[in-house]
Structure 1
């Protein structure tokens, strides 16, 4: 399981603030996510006034996407589009040919999410 910090960086904040964690559970072929708000973020009025996603409520504890989805829309929006995915996949395939990655490995959704540098990411989530 991977633990991915989720940060808000919208107008009115002094800088990026952690609002929670995205947990990534990988199987051989797919990845399932769960989101958990940080307790401090839920108590902070500058962070708890907005709902990140219609499926993520403002309360403590693990929250899961509604099946058949395996990820939340807010995080899908932060991932690259089709063109960006193609570029990342080409780079990954080049790394496999160069022996930098295992031939049986493949990119997961979290690889696409984390593969975009914050400088080029669209939106207020980091």
Structure 2
């Protein structure tokens, strides 16, 4: 997918490799983050990963990301507010924001030029 230069008010940002949804990508970047992986999140085994050619680290990230996505499916808005509250309560807490989301926010706030390089 390539950004058309004639459309300056629309930017498309996505993860090219192993990306799915915002929740999946957020969990992929934070597989051991206690802000996301509370006791309510059940870590599942993903049978498809056993035969995958992905590295062991990628398989582990995918297992956690898939588990978080299933957990988040029916409570996306509420989950976002819970996460925001946890971050507000614990200012030292940190979370890694996926690169394509960072770039999208930079584009929205500062109107950097979207290019193919922004889709990582």
Per the normalisation by structure 1, the TM-score is: 0.25
Q: Which has the higher strand share?
A: 1
After TM superposition, the score normalised by the length of structure 2 is 0.26
Structure having greater relative contact order (Cα 8 Å, sep ≥ 6): 2
